């Protein structure tokens, strides 16, 4: 697609006043406290894959409301010591797929937890986690329960994502002080949400993030998932205020403002699924809350001729190099 958002020089300065509901922090604190009342690990069993260089386990952990969420836990074979862990969140419509589909991080020497998306899967990769909730709203994932923050689908999925961090820290062979949240598209939005809700992550890797500056995105693109919200409002014309109120509770800009971990971003400037200005709105306000004298380390890579696919393997290579440097810096002795 042709470039249709703001020019890059304006994107670098774009800091919109995305509104936050007054109960934003209270809403999420109550939601996560309720989830934390259930022990996180439910079941961990070896998964035979026939792959000789990695070992994989089928993990079930307690997510939103204590409900079971599936994940694949994979690590380099024959490595016993505690490893830094990457918790990866999948894109819209994807499930966790089959074991062995995503091996970049374990073959790079990391423990890796790939979270299943409740109620998704079947479009691009198989899913194994149901979403047993309804609530007033539309028929699609992005509009499920959208008339009330308590009922909204992304309240549940974001809670699952936070609990995935708790789960990986409870698994054997993980250095709990070096946990990284990572994702692309919907997964990038989940990684941002986790960064705003978990204050001791080692790093965050965010690519083409969904659910940032959501109301602007709904105005700019008809592509799903944002187009699903617009199509719902085109049918139910009198619920816009309720939808705005709900979406404000899950907007990635609000989470980004509260984040404290070093962050690495990537955005394709021709992205018509998650418009570049919406991702920059989060990046430019990353770590801005709390009046910190030293903001968290952050880095942005843009791909002028790419859309939602972004930098693909080139970007992953940059993520790996950056993450290795961040973790080395964190391990360096403090000089006095």
The third-level CATH classification (topology) of the domain covering 8-329 is Rossmann fold (3.40.50)
Q: Which of 112, 185, 213, 272 is catalytic?
A: 185
The confidence score (pLDDT) of residue 160 equals 98
308 is catalytic: yes
Q: How many other C-beta atoms lie within 10 A of the C-beta of residue 128?
A: 18
Q: What is the distance between the alpha carbons of residues 19 and 290, in angstroms, rounded to a whole number? A: 17
Residues near 246 by beta carbon (within 8 Å), at least 6 away in sequence:
146, 147, 148, 149, 152
Contact 147, 136 (CB under 8 A): yes
Residues near 208 by beta carbon (within 8 Å), at least 6 away in sequence:
184, 185, 188, 266, 267, 268, 271, 273, 274, 279, 308, 310
Q: Which of 213, 249, 308, 315 is catalytic?
A: 308
The confidence score (pLDDT) of residue 91 equals 95
pLDDT digits (tens, 9 = 90+) for 65-106: 999 999 999 999 999 889 999 999 999 999 999 999 999 999
The confidence score (pLDDT) of residue 57 equals 98
The confidence score (pLDDT) of residue 334 equals 43
Q: What is the distance between the alpha carbons of residues 319 and 315, in angstroms, rounded to a whole number? A: 6
pLDDT digits (tens, 9 = 90+) for 267-320: 999 999 999 999 999 999 999 986 666 778 999 999 999 999 999 999 999 999
245 is catalytic: no
Q: What is the distance between the alpha carbons of residues 300 and 286, in angstroms, rounded to a whole number? A: 11
Q: One digit per residue, pLDDT tens: the chain, 336 residues?
A: 556 799 999 999 999 999 999 999 999 999 999 999 999 999 999 999 999 999 999 999 999 999 999 999 999 999 988 999 999 999 999 999 999 999 999 999 999 999 999 999 766 677 888 888 877 777 899 999 999 999 999 999 999 999 999 999 999 999 999 999 999 999 999 999 999 999 999 999 999 999 999 999 999 999 999 999 999 999 999 999 999 999 999 999 999 999 999 999 999 999 999 999 999 999 999 999 866 667 789 999 999 999 999 999 999 999 999 999 999 987 755 443
| Model pTM above 0.75 | yes
Contact 104, 92 (CB under 8 A): no
271 is catalytic: yes
Q: What are phi and psi of 164, to 5 degrees?
A: -65, -35
The confidence score (pLDDT) of residue 330 equals 76
Contact 201, 181 (CB under 8 A): yes
Q: Which of 271, 272, 277, 315 is catalytic?
A: 271
The confidence score (pLDDT) of residue 210 equals 98
């Amino acid at each position: 697609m042709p470039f249709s958002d703001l020019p890059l020089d304006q994107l670098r300065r774009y800091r919109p006043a995305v509104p936050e509901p007054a109960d934003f922090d209270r809403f999420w604190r109550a939601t996560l406290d309720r989830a934390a009342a259930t022990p996180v690990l439910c079941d961990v069993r070896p998964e035979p894959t026939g792959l000789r260089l990695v070992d994989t386990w089928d993990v079930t952990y307690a997510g939103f409301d204590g409900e079971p969420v599936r994940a694949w836990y994979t690590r380099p074979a024959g490595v016993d010591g505690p490893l830094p862990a990457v918790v990866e969140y999948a894109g819209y419509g994807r499930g966790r797929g089959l074991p062995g589909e995503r091996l970049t991080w374990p073959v790079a020497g990391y423990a890796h937890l790939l979270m299943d998306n409740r109620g998704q899967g079947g479009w691009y990769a198989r899913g194994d986690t149901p979403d047993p909730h309804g609530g007033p709203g539309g028929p699609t994932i992005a509009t499920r329960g959208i008339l009330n923050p308590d009922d909204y689908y992304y309240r549940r999925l974001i809670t699952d994502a936070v609990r995935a961090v708790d789960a990986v820290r409870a698994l054997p062979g993980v250095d709990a002080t070096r946990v990284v949240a990572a994702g692309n598209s919907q997964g990038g939005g989940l990684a941002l949400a986790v960064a705003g809700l978990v204050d001791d992550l080692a790093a965050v890797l965010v690519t083409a993030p969904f659910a940032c500056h959501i109301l602007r995105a709904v105005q700019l693109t008809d592509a799903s998932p944002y187009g699903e919200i617009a199509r719902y409002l085109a049918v139910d014309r009198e619920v816009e205020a309720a939808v705005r109120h709900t979406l404000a509770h899950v907007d990635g800009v609000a989470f980004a403002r509260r984040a404290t971990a070093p962050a690495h971003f990537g955005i394709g400037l021709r992205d018509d699924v998650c418009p570049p200005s919406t991702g920059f709105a989060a990046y430019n306000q990353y770590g801005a809350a709390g009046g910190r004298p030293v903001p968290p380390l952050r880095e942005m890579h843009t791909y002028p001729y790419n859309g939602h696919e972004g930098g693909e393997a080139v970007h992953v290579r940059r993520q790996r190099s950056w993450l290795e440097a961040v973790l080395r810096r964190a391990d360096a002795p403090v000089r006095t």
